[in-house]
A and B are shown apart, each in its own frame.
Chain A
Amino acid sequence: MNIEELKEILHIFREEAREITDHVTADLLALETTAPADQKELLENLFRSMHTLKGGAGSLGIDDVAALAHTAETLLGQCRRGERNYQPVFTDALLASLDEVGRRLDALLAGQTESGEGVRAAQARLSRAIEGEAPIAEQAAAAANGGTSRAAPSEMAFLKVGANRIESLSLAVDEFLVSRLRVAQRASESTRLASELELLARRARFGWGEDQMRELKRITRDAAAIGRELSQETQSMAGMSEDLRESLRGLQVIPASAVLDPFRRSVREHAQTIGVETVFDIVGSEVTADRRILEALRGPLVHLLRNAVDHGIETPAVRKKAGKAPRAKLRVEVSVVGSELKISVTDDGRGINPARLRQSAAEKGLLTAEEAARLDDENALALIWRSGFSTAEKITQTSGRGVGLDAVREDIVKLGGRVEVQSRKGEGATFLIQVPLMLAAAVGLLVVSAGIPYLVPLTAVEVVRRIRISKLERFQGTPVLPHGDRQVPVVGLAAALSGVAMPLGRGDENPMVCVVGDGIAAVALVVDGILGEREMSIRPLGPELQRFEHLAGAARTGDGRVVLVLNVPALIARALELSRAGGGDGRDARTVLIVEDAITSRLLYRAFLEAAGYRVLLSGDGEEALELLQSRPVDAVVSDVRMPRMDGLELTRRIRRLPGMERLPVLLVTSLDSSEDRAEGMRAGATTYLVKGETPPERVVDVLSGFVA
């Protein structure tokens, strides 16, 4: 075995040891709250865990760890057989031993030369604990089981796979999706080739011999057949890619215990440190959820548990006085409701005092005394989520510093979740967290339209290709593209999204199209460009946007920008509607009048507006513009302010006096940026006032589209 293989095995053993540590910790803590008569099963588990640890360490030649595990195994064997009573002092020694084992293995993995002194010291401590507690019968065997026991057989075989390998698998699945797209493209090209051959055969039939014609027809049939087969193959690949993605989602799920179990120990130790007693209980730790969600909740849960121990739970003496059991109850409960994961953190401590919250808010200047006094209990309780708010009288390492609960809330909201608190003074508090069960992730094609990137779910993308606009055929006036054995309408994505007709390609004769389908219908969407495939975590849009069905959600890019995720079936419906109305390619394009004395600005705005699909009229000043307006139908005016003969303000006032033009969109675009100028512009009747330099031309186009849509 070479060093690399050895290292790989050591890695696996480290993971196994980590898992054993988690189980042993949970079992040891459970022992403390279990009556001696009912401890047998827990002791059995502990014994087996230690035995497994001993076996693994021995086989890798880590003798000091094997010896420590052996001592622990012996002790637990005696307890299990009833030869020795289990004592709480063993718990601390065993937990310390596991810490040392972890440190020793980490050092070995890091390639550090480590003497194993920590492990030996832990063994000595464990031995001292054992010696201090005499066995029930002196004849107890020193080595109860010499390595013949076997770990409990599990019902299911598990394979340890690192998160990085899952990520690699995810990338491979993405690659597969890209390949599917390429095959789809080839299928489309083959079909087109067959059509062209057929056309050639028709044209050539008078000049060619019979044999040549037969051969040509045979080639045509073969090409058509290949096209059809490839199309079928693409469909089957689409199904496979969805299955793969679904399986991958399954791999990204872990039980809540992976995050929650380590809290058993940390809560116990923290409670001991500050002199309170708790019975810490976790319910529902077997519930599974997205690894990324659970891991992101670790920090908020640490904070809530620490807060409960530090500030919620009273000392045993105080609890007794209040008529409560000296040991406080602290419970984390996990459940799944619909597509949400619910986690509650409940303690039966002193609760949150609304009066104290009001007082603290007034003292910190967050509210005036009068405002604070007006708050009812529910609203007073909501103060805890405010930044910098704390009522804690004592400060611990992680709580009571006035930071925290706002950050807890922020972390949860970032996951698309929410958190609430309920509390009654003297009776304790419950924090209820609700987050999505899975972090919805979508693989999509990032496309650009009118300068804005959108994510189109890859499962809906059938083909991506370039087209030649002048060569497109028309069906009932609508440009169409041959796609497989059918013709699909060609519509600009910007037009489909805005519902406003625009020229295809916006000046580009050979634009990219992305053919999307929903299993029933398909359209070819003309885009400005394709940035490639991306996997992004999708967040739902706010309730105020959910009625706009063409928008499925939003995702965030690495640099913090927000990208809209498109809902393909709704988008297809919009595109088809636009196409049926005969407006898909901008034959009904809106007309915009640009009023600008500077030639450069005039041409610049014209270029952007035409690229966005508008018809553009130009004029150099207000007077000329007024003449044009009275002779040509115009849908909007984009005007400068300072111009010769008639400035933009006067032009606007005059426009407002023209019949039927009271509501004509007039955008004043100028370099005059004072608030007085802005107010003057709005008073003149402008629909909006934009400052050059602050508002680039493409933004002007965006704003304009809002008025003429």
Chain B
Amino acid sequence: MSSSERLVRILARLEMLATDANDPARTERVLRARAVAAAKVRDEHREPLERLLAFRAAGKLYGVPLESVSAITLIRSMTMLPGVPAAFAGLLNVRGRHVTAIDLGAFLEGARIGDASKAITVVEKDRELALIAEELVGVRDIFENDVQQVVGLKAGSVVTRLGPDGMQVIDPGALFADTRLGSSRRR
């Protein structure tokens, strides 16, 4: 056991001593805090499973694997797309390329994003899509026990895992393969 882990345990025991042991809510809080602190110490010695770019869209927290992100841009002007479903937020000029902007709120939740000011361009082979976001939260290291598989999903679901803080982890492969974003009815 490392010295920092020992220190965490001692602090927790001291806190337990100072706590009214008859208060179950208080006890639970302390135990949780201890678990988080212990996990943090443990994480310092582990390699992350993957690195996600966390962002907020339509009030929800999403994460997308950093290795799929090709650009993060401020939305200065977006060309609206008339006569298409709300999930297609518009067309963006990303470094000279026309990239379709996707509103994840409308695409996954049926609620459109209010005022997206950032676009995260994700790439898969020759295709690109820009996910519009209200807020960029930052890069999150994901460890083995941080993610949970969502069960009972339909095949091809874009979100199959949940990360810390309820973060919905986007699977870029499933996103690009989604029939709603495909060209099956190509003219």
Contacts and interface: CB of A to CB of B under 8 A. Distances in A.
Interface string A675-709: 10011001100111111001100000011011101
Contacts of B33: none
Contacts of B91: 541, 554, 562, 564
B104 interface: no
A202 interface: no
Interface in B88-120: 88, 91-93, 95-100, 105-106, 111-115, 117
Nearest to B84: A548
A371 B65 CA distance: 12
A550 interface: yes
Interface string B166-187: 0000000000000001111111
A675 B135 contact: yes
B48 interface: yes
A574 B111 CA distance: 27
A146 interface: no
Given A494-B82, A546-B186, A688-B112, A368 B48 contact: yes
Given A678-B59, A694-B117, A574 B83 contact: yes
A240 interface: no
A688 B58 contact: yes
B22 interface: no
Contacts of B186: 543, 546-547
Interface string A364-378: 000110110000000
B106 A556 contact: no
Contact of B112 (A414, A551, A562, A707): A707
B82 A539 contact: no
A688 B127 contact: no
B86 A499 contact: no
Contacts of B135: 675
Contacts of A367: 67
Contact of A541 (B67, B82, B100, B112): B100
A563 B93 CA distance: 10
Interface in A115-149: none
Contacts of B113: 688
Query: Chain B contact residues: over half helix, strand or loop, or mixed?
Result: loop
Nearest to A554: B98
Interface in A376-395: none
A660 interface: no
B39 interface: no
B115 A695 contact: yes
B79 interface: yes
Contact of A498 (B82, B92, B105, B129): B82
Given A370-B47, A695-B114, A452 B79 contact: yes
Interface in B70-92: 77, 79-84, 86, 88, 91-92
Contacts of B105: 688
Contacts of A368: 47-48
Nearest to A560: B93
B126 interface: yes
B111 A543 contact: no
Interface in A549-565: 549-551, 554, 556, 560-564
A499 B115 contact: no
A418 interface: yes
A681 B171 CA distance: 28
Contact of A546 (B81, B134, B183): B183
A449 B92 CA distance: 19
A542 interface: yes
B71 to A, nearest CB: 10
Contacts, number: 129
Contact of B93 (A550, A556, A702, A703): A556
A613 B184 CA distance: 33
B112 A706 contact: yes
B116 to A, nearest CB: 10
Contact of B96 (A410, A683, A686): A410
B115 A690 contact: yes
Given A413-B97, A707-B112, A550 B83 contact: yes
A544 B84 CA distance: 11
B79 A564 contact: yes
A606 to B, nearest CB: 21
Nearest to A366: B67
Contacts of B77: 560-562
Contacts of A414: 96-97
B107 to A, nearest CB: 11
Nearest to B100: A542
Given A541-B100, A542-B127, A694 B183 contact: no
B81 A564 contact: yes
A556 B112 CA distance: 26
Given A410-B95, A689-B59, A707-B86, A542 B112 contact: no
Given A542-B128, A679-B59, A682-B58, A547 B185 contact: yes
Interface string A486-505: 00000000100111000000
A422 B98 CA distance: 27
Contacts of B88: 544-545
Interface in A249-264: none
B11 to A, nearest CB: 31
Contact of A702 (B80, B100, B181): B80
Given A545-B100, A694-B115, A562 B79 contact: yes
Interface of A: 367-368, 370-371, 410, 413-414, 418, 450, 452, 494, 497-499, 539, 541-551, 554, 556, 560-564, 574, 675, 678-679, 682-683, 686-691, 694-695, 702-703, 705-707, 709
6 closest residue pairs by CB, A with B: A543-B183, A497-B82, A682-B59, A547-B185, A706-B86, A544-B181
9 contacts: A413-B97, A542-B127, A548-B81, A548-B83, A554-B98, A562-B93, A678-B114, A688-B105, A702-B80
